[in-house]
Amino acid sequence: MKRALIVLLLLPLLLTDAAAQSGAVVYSLPRTTVGIRVEARREAFTAGPYAQYAQKYLGVAARTESGTTYTLQQITLIPYVEADPKVRFTVTIPDKSSANFLQFCAQGLVVMADNYTGTPASWRFASQAGAARFEGADPLGNLGRETTTLYKAVRTDEGYERVPVTQENVVEKSPDRKAADLAGLIFRLREQRQQIATGDTDATFGGEALQAAIDEITRLETSYLSLFYGISEISVEEKTFDVTPTADNKNQSYTAFRISDKDGLLPASAGEGKAVTLELRTEPLSAPETVNERGKETAVVHYRIPAIARCRLSLDGRLLLESRLPVYQLGEESTVPVNVLLTK
């Protein structure tokens, strides 16, 4: 979790002595922005050309539709404090004041300047090659031999008699035929691998040659199986989204970001994708034991007491993450007399 970075911005003429500060100081009250770091798993799947025959020839059904899917893997909430540009005050620090005012600011009750947190650009995933990735994987080709039985009439003493004649033709294989041939090749590879591993073969393998033979058979089997079960390419996309709660939002519900199977992680302003919602439920603040009349004070310092909010991140009604965070702008604003900062 990042620590809040509090930057003190004083007038240039007032930076001469931090231990004995005096003069006018401009400051802002703090607000909380919730950073949401998201990691999504991207799967680009291309179905195999023989996927519909996997159950028939290999006994296990295969996915028949290509597509890209994104799945949320990890979400981290990172609250950080920044200056609220809408709430700014000027206070005059009397002479002989100590550095307690600066310490008071550093505790997060007052923020002295605007703080900008930059967000780096994100790399977008490139388009996939699709079915072209299967080129060269099929070792059997598109042509096969087909035997046809024809009949011709042969004249005999008793007349004409039909005699069968076998004719062999080269024809284009049907997808079913190619899937059957490929499945047969896969089973033969498995049988050869078992024979080599158990020594049930006329060939002699030893040492590195044995392992190399088994690895090559396994590589070929994996390549041929991809024609049935397709190819999946797994990648990870990481992005960070910021949500700054506002007190005028009655429901305290915000669209944190969106996730789309087409474009992945998207900002809340995107017009597509499923919305991931951030909900805040603040815990009530009790009234102080005594309330002093601050109206008589000639100089006061404003500060905020943060509200403790229970944050719930959900997608389609399913809870993804829940945590408790201090949110300054949803809390209570109060004041403290400047004279408490004076030294004798």
CA angle 8, 11, 14 (to 5 degrees): 95
Confidence of residue 145 (pLDDT cuts 50, 70, 90): low
Q: Is the pLDDT of residue 108 over 50?
A: no
Question: 0.85 exceeded by the pTM?
Answer: no
Confidence of residue 14 (pLDDT cuts 50, 70, 90): very low
212 or 128, greater pLDDT: 212
Q: Which residues contact 139 (CB under 8 A, 6 or more apart)?
A: 182, 185, 224
339 or 117, greater pLDDT: 339
User: What pLDDT is stored for residue 241 in this prediction?
Assistant: 94
- The percent of residues in the chain predicted with pLDDT above 90, rounded, is 30
User: What is the pLDDT averaged over residues 114-132?
Assistant: 46
User: What is the pLDDT averaged over residues 249-268?
Assistant: 93
User: What is the pLDDT averaged over residues 192-205?
Assistant: 79
Residues 119-122: contacts with CB under 8 Å, at least 24 apart: 119/240, 119/242, 122/237, 122/238, 122/239
Range from 52-61, 73-82, 281-290 that averages highest in pLDDT: 52-61
Confidence of residue 117 (pLDDT cuts 50, 70, 90): very low
Confidence of residue 94 (pLDDT cuts 50, 70, 90): low
Please give the Cα distance from 308 to 304 (Å, whole number). 12
Q: Is the pLDDT of residue 254 over 90?
A: yes
Average pLDDT, the chain: 75
User: What pLDDT is stored for residue 127 in this prediction?
Assistant: 45
Choice among 35-44, 170-179, 275-284 with the minimum mean pLDDT = 170-179
